[in-house]
């Protein structure tokens, strides 16, 4: 059990232990700092210690009687519920009662030598009547008095409540973020499948053999999304392979109408981790709003490069892609990735999307998670073809 668990636990046994420790420390503090009107030289060290311990124990009990009704009854049931008139009226009565309890306690224990409960210590002078009245007030306003101990307990209590509320809010925000992230991730699947099935449909009209190959590739990608897409992070190597499979699927559809340049600089031995399906919406966007919009040869260039922890992703297509707002409707794909980046990589990513002339470019950098230390060498694969 950690100190944090002990302090913030709501278990009855731990709560009682916390209070006992506090009052024991408070008793020791008073015993070491409070002095009456007689020194050890006058009454002897033994008598002095006995007297100090007795006075401190008695004052601690009085402060316990003062603190708990105030903290656990008057404050929560009246002050916190904004019943101010009732609170101050009851507080006045409570202080009046505490004063007289303290007065009679001091009178019978420390002043009246004929009292059966008088605390008799050799050579110690009993309190006179003035001292009894004075100490009855003094015990409630002095630095080690009841008001101070009560204020200290209240400050700790409200700090704990504030701390717990902050943690609850953080957990709620985290749960909301996770729910939103799962929703965004789920949106990728139907969006991707819809586009791919449209491609397969068009292939079945022209070339059934290519359609069969495409379906096989698609089944592998769906399996990847089912198994890996549910994870928080996947190996970058697997994500790149899935991306290349998708590009291969699109190349079957477009044939000579497409010039696809892929440049990958990544060492498969590097155990870099990335959020699944983070890059594919950008690649989809280039095919859907670039290659499919022209009857001439379309050109798409893709660069994926990794450093020690950073991923650089850059993709561009030769035709102007549809802007992120089209007819007042925000495109799902690009907006989806923006939100996922904000949730998964806050402060650890950059995303720049530009349209200039007849070129649409996406440039993204992401600081990745590292599973194992990265290797020093890179694999450099460059593909340039028109198939």
Is a pLDDT exceeding 70 seen at residue 302? Answer: yes
CB-based contact 138:30 (threshold 8 Å): no
Average pLDDT over residues 222-251: 82
Whole-number percent of the chain with pLDDT over 90: 20
pLDDT at 23 over 90: yes
d(CA 40, CA 31): 14
Q: Identify the structural domains of the chain with CATH numbers, from first to last.
A: 3-144 (no CATH), 173-385 (3.30.565.10)
Confidence of residue 367 (pLDDT cuts 50, 70, 90): very high
Q: What local confidence, expressed as pLDDT, does residue 314 receive?
A: 95
Q: How many helices (H) and strands (E) does the chain have?
A: 11, 11
Taking the alpha carbons at both ends of the chain, their separation in whole angstroms is: 64
Task: Considering only the C-alpha atoms of the chain, give the largest distance between any 2 of them, rounded to a whole number of Å.
Answer: 116
3 state SS of 309: coil
List pLDDT tens digits, range 132-191. Answer: 888 888 776 665 578 888 888 888 888 888 888 887 767 756 655 555 555 555 555 565
Residues sharing a CB contact under 8 Å with residue 132, sequence separation 6 or more, in sequence order: 103, 106, 107, 110, 111
Q: Where does the pLDDT of residue 354 fall: very low under 50, low under 70, confident under 90, or very high at 90 and above?
A: confident
Highest mean pLDDT range out of 71-80, 183-192, 367-376? 71-80
The yes-or-no verdict on residue 340 having pLDDT over 60 is yes
Distances (CA, A) of 68 to 83, 143, 226, 277: 19, 18, 58, 57
Q: DSSP of 226-290, one letter per residue?
A: HHTTTSS-EEHHHHHHHHHHHHHHHHHHHGGGEEEEEEEE--TTS-EEE-TTSSHHHHHHHHHHT
Interatomic CA distance for residues 319 and 358, integer angstroms = 5
Contact 349, 365 (CB under 8 A): yes
Structure tokens at 110: 């420390």
Position 81 pLDDT exceeds 70: yes
Q: Does residue 371 have a pLDDT over 80?
A: no
Is residue 93 scored above 60 in pLDDT? yes
Average pLDDT of the segment spanning 195-218: 70
Place of tokens 């290797």: 375
* Residue 38 DSSP SS3: coil
Q: Are 219 and 259 in contact (CB under 8 A)?
A: no
- Please tell me the distance from the alpha carbon of residue 102 to that of residue 107, in angstroms, as a whole number: 8
Beta pairing partners, 369: 273
Whether the pLDDT of residue 386 is over 80: the answer is no
Tokens 């630095």 found at: 143
pLDDT-based confidence at residue 125 (cuts at 50, 70, 90): confident
From 36-40, 93-97, 177-181, 229-233, the region with the lowest mean pLDDT: 177-181
Q: pLDDT tier at 352 (50, 70, 90 boundaries)?
A: very high
| Whether pLDDT at 240 is above 60 | yes
| Angle made by CA atoms 262, 246, 184, in degrees to the nearest 5 | 110
Q: What are phi and psi of 357, to 5 degrees?
A: 65, -125
Q: What percent of the chain has pLDDT over 70?
A: 78
Alpha carbons within 13 A on the beta-carbon side of 179: 6
| Residue position matching structure tokens 């059990």 | 1
Which residues have a Cβ under 8 Å from the Cβ of 84 and sit 6 or more positions away?
78
Q: What is the pLDDT of residues 308-334, one digit of tens each?
A: 889 999 999 876 444 444 433 445 567
Vertex 167, ends 162 and 172: CA angle to 5°?
125
pLDDT at res. 83: 93
Read off the pLDDT band of 74 (50, 70, 90).
Answer: very high
Identify the pLDDT of residue 106: 87
**Alpha carbon distance 221, 73 (integer Å):** 63
CA–CA–CA angle 302, 321, 196 (5° rounding): 70
**CB-based contacts of 328, cutoff 8 Å, min separation 6:** none
Q: What is the mean pLDDT of the chain?
A: 79
């Amino acid at each position: 059990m950690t100190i944090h668990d002990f302090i913030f636990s709501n278990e009855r046994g731990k709560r009682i232990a916390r209070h006992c420790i506090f009052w024991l420390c408070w008793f020791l503090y008073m015993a070491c700092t409070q002095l009456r009107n007689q020194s050890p030289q006058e009454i002897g060290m033994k008598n002095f210690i006995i007297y100090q311990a007795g006075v401190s124990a008695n004052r601690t009990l009085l402060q316990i009687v003062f603190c708990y009704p105030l903290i656990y009854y008057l404050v929560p049931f009246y002050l916190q519920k904004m019943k101010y008139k009732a609170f101050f009226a009851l507080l006045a009565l409570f202080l009046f009662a505490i004063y007289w309890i303290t007065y009679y306690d001091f009178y019978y224990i420390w002043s009246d030598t004929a009292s059966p409960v008088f605390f008799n210590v050799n050579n110690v002078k009993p309190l006179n009547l003035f001292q009894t009245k004075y100490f009855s007030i003094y015990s409630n306003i002095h630095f080690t008095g009841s008001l101070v101990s009560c204020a200290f307990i209240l400050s700790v209590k409200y700090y704990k409540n504030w701390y717990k509320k902050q943690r609850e809010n953080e957990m709620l925000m985290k749960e909301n973020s996770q729910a939103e992230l799962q929703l965004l991730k789920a949106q990728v699947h139907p969006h991707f499948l819809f586009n791919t099935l449209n491609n397969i449909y068009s292939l079945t009209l022209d070339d059934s053999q290519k359609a069969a190959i495409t379906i096989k590739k698609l089944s592998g990608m769906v399996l990847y999304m089912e198994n890996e897409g549910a994870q928080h992070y996947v190996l970058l190597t697997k994500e790149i392979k899935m991306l290349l499979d998708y590009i291969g699927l699109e190349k079957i559809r477009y044939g000579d109408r497409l010039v696809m340049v892929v440049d990958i600089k990544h060492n498969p031995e590097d155990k870099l981790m990335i959020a699944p399906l983070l890059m594919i919406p950008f690649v989809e966007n280039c095919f859907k709003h670039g290659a499919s919009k022209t009857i001439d040869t379309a050109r798409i260039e893709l660069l994926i490069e990794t450093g020690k922890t950073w991923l650089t992703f850059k993709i561009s297509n030769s035709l102007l892609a549809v802007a992120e707002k089209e007819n007042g409707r925000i495109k799902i794909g690009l907006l989806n990735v923006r939100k996922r980046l904000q949730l998964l990589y806050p402060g650890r990513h950059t995303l720049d999307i530009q349209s200039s002339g007849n070129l649409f470019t996406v440039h993204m950098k992401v600081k990745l998670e590292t599973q194992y230390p990265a290797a020093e060498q890179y694999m450099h694969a460059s593909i340039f073809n028109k198939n």
